[in-house]
Structures are given as C-alpha cells and as structure tokens.
Amino acid sequence: MYTDILINATFYENRIALVENGHLREFHLERVSEKGLIGNIYQGKVVRVLPGIDAAFVDIGLDRTGFLYVDEALYIFSDNYQRLNPGHKLWTKPPAPPYTHLTINQILREGQEILVQIAKEPIGSKGARLTCNITLPCRNLVFMPLTDHIGISRKIEDETIRHQLREKIEALRPPGTGFIVRTVAENIDNDSLEADMEFLLLLWDEILTKAQKSQAPALIYKDLDIILRAVRDFFTEETNELVTDNREVYDQLLSYAEIFAPQLRDKITYYQSDMPLFERYGVEADINSALDKKVWLRSGGYIVIEPTEALTVIDVNTGRYVSAADLSETIFKTNMEAVREIARQLRLRNLGGIIIIDFIDMENEEQREELFTAFQEAMRADKSKVNILKLSEFGLVQMTRKRLSESLMQTMCEPCLYCSGDGHIKSRLTICHEIFRKITRDARKIGGAHVSIKVHPQIAEMLLNEQSYTIEQLERITEKRFTIIPVPDMHIKRYDVIWNE
C-alpha cells in the first residue's frame, strides 16, 4: 500500500503523488481546463445505432458523442432502471430475459433517451466509453443498482470475514441490486456498513429523480474531484501521512475525514515549507523522468519504453552491467531487476492496451519460469485489470492492461513541432504550468516588483491568451508585475524568469 499521499493543489491544476517506501508509484494529474469525466452520469440521447459493430453513439453534451457497446446497454432492462420513467424514455415493452442474445438495434433506437455513465475517458480522437451499468462508489462500498451481485475485495483473504460481510450485505441490500465490499471495509462495524448503504441508496434515488426531470443531453451526477477520489480510494490505515500544500484543501480533507474516516484524521498534514512539496519528497524528478524513453536500472542495465499507435513495446538491455558471474547470470539478474521496474513504470505512466516486453533471451527453463512468476507477483499491486501470457520461446511477454484515462505522456505531452510529430515534447500547457510553479516558489525568497518571462513565441501566445487569467491571479498572489517576452530563437521547452526591481 501507499505509505505517503502527496497533494499539490493550485487554482490551475491538482497533482496527486502516491509514494511507497520513498518511491513514486502512481501520479495523477487533473487540470482545471481538463476536468476528469470518469464516473459522471448523464441523461443521453441515442443519435446513431450501428448494427454492424453492435454499438451506438450517444449524445451526452460533450464535444464528441459517447460510444456504447451492446453488452453495456443490456442493463436498461433491469427493474431498477425501469423506475427511471417506464414506457416513455425506455422500451415500451421490455422483452423477456435472458437478454444476451439481443443485438443493439433490438435494444436501442435513435432518439431514445437513456441514463449512462462514463466508464472510460475520451482518448485522442475517440469519444468517451459509456455504460448503462451504473456504479456508485463510497469509501467502504461500491453500489451497483442495476446488477444482482455481491462481491468482496480479493485482498480480504480471511474466509470467515468474507462470509460475515457477504451475510451482512445480503440482509440489507434491496432486491436486484449489488454491492462490492472494498478492502478498507474488512473490519467495518454494522452501523458504519448500514450508514454507507443508506447513503448510496439515497444518492441513487436522487439520481433517478433528477433524470426523470431532465431533457437529454444533461449531466445528472458529477463524481468527486481528483483530490477527494484519491482520499476515498487510497487513504487507508496503512498510509503514514497524507500531505497537502494547500490550506483550503487541508481543511476540506479534515472535514471529509471527520465524516468518513475519523480514525485517519491525525494522518493529514498541512505542508508550509518554502521548498515545494514535490521537490521535498523527491517526486518532481521522478515525474519528469517518467516521460523519458530510457529508464536506467541500478545495476547499469536499462529498459526502453516505446508507445505506438497499436501497442507499447518495452525492451530490456544489459547496458553497462557486467557481473562477476557468467553471461547467463548477468542476463538473469538484469531481467529480474527489469521486472520490478517495468511493473512500476506501467502504473506510473498509466500505459494500457497491448504491451509487448522483450526480455533478454534465457535458455535456462527454471530461470524463465522464475522470471515469469516474479513478473506476475510484481503486477499484483496494480489495481488495473491485466492479462499476462506465458513467456514465449523468443523471450517475449505479451500482456494487456486496462486503463480508463490517457497515459502520462498523452496528458503531459504533445507532438513535437521540431520533428513533425514523430516524437513528443512537453505540451505548451505543461510548460506554462512549470513556469507558474517556478514563479510561485521563487516569489517567496526573491525580492523585486517586476518579473520578465522570456519564452518561445508559442508559449508567449498561450500565456497572454488562454492562460491570461492565471497570470492575473499570480500577479495578485505574488504582488508582482509580469512581462511576457517572446524570443523567436528559443527552444519551445526553454524559458527564463528574470526578477527585476
């Protein structure tokens, strides 16, 4: 589990670092201009039904229509879904179960209004992936109003406790609904369990009531922001501390903990040092290095990570590592070290889809088995759904990893204007935010009433237009006056911040 949760919160972006024993394991970023959408619930309108691919496009009010597969649309026949407004916005006469044989045009029609939830963020040119299988999480439970199911977290291993939790849920849940018990609820008391269930049931009733009164497309329910989601999903008894550098967020976290996890309140800390929080904990450098292709191993070996349109390729090399033993031992030790780092990088970079790992060839069958077992074990800490195939005779591991949002590179980078899109550099917005952080940090210790910012013309344009509000706010907060100076021959990722009297 994560030993430290770091929250760097500003008025232009929120950054969450999940640290385990001093090492950055996951990084989550949400910018004010690019708010996350996963978990949001919408009243949508079917605009196109495509029998050829058994899917439909649904207008939910975003720039691009959402995409709904047939398997995710079957839930509209649930009795609890029919409460939404039977016979009007839904099917006038639902067919008899089972529904798995139905095609998309037997379930949906153009112009039909349906309640959907975003299951996967829009990525690139693709719209959001939608589902009619609504899920509502809270700290201890996940409520599935349209699914008749009881699930217990796999990390709760004690069979007696699993049985007791299952019996408690069974006694309290409404017919036809489902609940998943989360890991943090392993030792939950009956009163807390009932309170959480009551909260989720009331929330579902509010969603149904609002949906009945809404005209598609409309936002019906907005999930928690990234900060409260991080607290809900990652903040546990095993966490050493949760640290934030924002007083308002600190007060918000204390209030949240007081209601949902009072036993964790003392673990929340307000960070006030002049040294930026992420620099103090050494994670700023880790975030930047997570954008590099090459990752060095402690032994002197290295891995190269190459995302492509179709898949991600990871190559393992011995590099400078030469052990005192024979070549086969050098290869084995490099591969074993790479296993742990690859598992870490997949989570840190949020890589998904098809992933091919090219380990250094090994002829010893026992070593091959040990390597594969070690990789499976290293991936156990990953909360994303993964499927790993056996090591091939060529030393390749094929796997898939499900991700719900853009990778770190897609979030923080854009196609390079110097190489016509063949590579990536930090996006203009990422560079602007780096400048904001530098100014905020230096303003505490450097005098002068005027700041000159020399940047590439494209960065200057963004600062003066799209980011003009942020500049105004920084001027107010730092009590400095900023001058943006375009420098045509400056590399786009370079900038100079000059403090003047």
For the chain, the structural domain boundaries read 4-35+237-282, 41-221, 290-401, 427-500
Q: Examine the pLDDT at 91 and tell me if it is beyond 60.
A: no
Q: What is the pLDDT of residue 89?
A: 46
- Tell me the average pLDDT across 413-435: 83
Give the rounded percent of residues in the chain with a pLDDT score beyond 70.
93
pLDDT, residue 422, reads: 65
Residues 485-490: what's their mean pLDDT? 93
Instruction: Work out the average pLDDT over 370-380.
Output: 93
Residue 137 structure tokens: 């999480």
Question: What one-character DSSP code corresponds to residue 412?
Answer: H
Q: How far apart are CA 476 and CA 454, in angstroms?
A: 20
* Residue pair 7/14 in contact by the 8 Å Cβ criterion: yes
Count the neighbouring beta carbons within 10 Å of the beta carbon of residue 206.
12
| Sole residue written with tokens 């309140």 | 265
Residue recorded with tokens 């976290």: 253
Q: Amino acid letter at 403?
A: R
Residues 210-264 have pLDDT tens digits of: 998 889 899 999 998 899 999 988 998 889 999 999 999 999 999 988 888 888 9
How far from each other are the two terminal CA atoms of the chain, in whole angstroms? 49
Mean per-residue pLDDT over the chain, rounded: 88
- Asked if residues 315 and 293 have their Cβ atoms less than 8 Å apart, the reply is no
Q: What pLDDT band is residue 88 in, cutting at 50, 70 and 90?
A: very low
290-401 under CATH 3.30.1710, yes or no: yes
One of 3.30.410.40, 3.40.50.1820, 3.30.9.10, 3.40.1260.20 is the CATH number of 427-500, namely 3.40.1260.20
**Cβ atoms of residues 248 and 263 within 8 Å:** no
- 29 — pLDDT class (breaks 50, 70, 90): very high
Residue identified by tokens 């936002």 is 219
The Cα 368–Cα 361 span in angstroms is 9
More confident residue, 76 or 20: 20
% of the chain with per-residue pLDDT over 90: 54
Question: Which residue from 347, 366, 346, 369 is spatially nearest to 356, judged by alpha carbons?
Answer: 346
What mean pLDDT comes out for the span 61-68?
92
Cis check for the bond before 174: say yes or no (omega within 30 of 0).
no
Fold of 41-221: OB fold (Dihydrolipoamide Acetyltransferase, E2P) (2.40.50)
- Compute the distance between CA of residue 456 and CA of residue 448 in angstroms, rounded to an integer: 24
Report the DSSP pairing between strands 495-500 and 450-455. Answer: antiparallel
Q: How far apart are CA 389 and CA 386, in angstroms?
A: 10
User: At 410, is the pLDDT very low, low, confident or very high (cuts 50, 70, 90)?
Assistant: confident
Instruction: Report residue 311 as tokens.
Output: 């898949």
More confident residue, 83 or 348: 348
Half-sphere exposure of 209 (CA within 13 A, CB side): 6
Residues β-bridged to residue 180: 142, 151
Q: Say if residue 402's pLDDT is above 60.
A: yes
Tell me what pLDDT residue 319 has: 80
Question: Please, are residues 257 and 244 in contact by the beta-carbon 8 Å criterion?
Answer: no
pLDDT digits (tens, 9 = 90+) for 292-305: 999 999 888 899 99
> Alpha-carbon distance 258 to 264, whole Å?
8
Residue 80 has pLDDT above 70, yes or no: no
**Angle, in degrees to the nearest 10, between helices 468-478 and 457-464:** 80
Residue 197 CB partners (closer than 8 Å, separation 6+): 141, 143, 169, 172, 173, 179
- Per the CB < 8 A criterion, the answer to whether 431 and 379 are in contact is no
The CA distance from 230 to 469, in Å, is: 27
Four-way CATH pick for 4-35+237-282: 3.30.420, 1.10.3470, 3.40.50, 2.60.420? 3.30.420
Identity of the residue numbered 202: L
Q: Which residue's entry shows tokens 């501390």?
A: 241
For residue 91, how far is the Cα from the chain centroid? Answer: 35
CB 103 within 8 A of CB 128: no
Residue type, 36: G
Q: Which of 55-69, 114-128, 323-337, 390-404 has the highest mean pLDDT?
A: 55-69
CA 30 to chain centre: 9
pLDDT of residue 74: 84
> How many Å is the Cα radius of gyration of the chain?
25
Hey, is 393 helix, strand or coil? coil
pLDDT of residue 41: 96
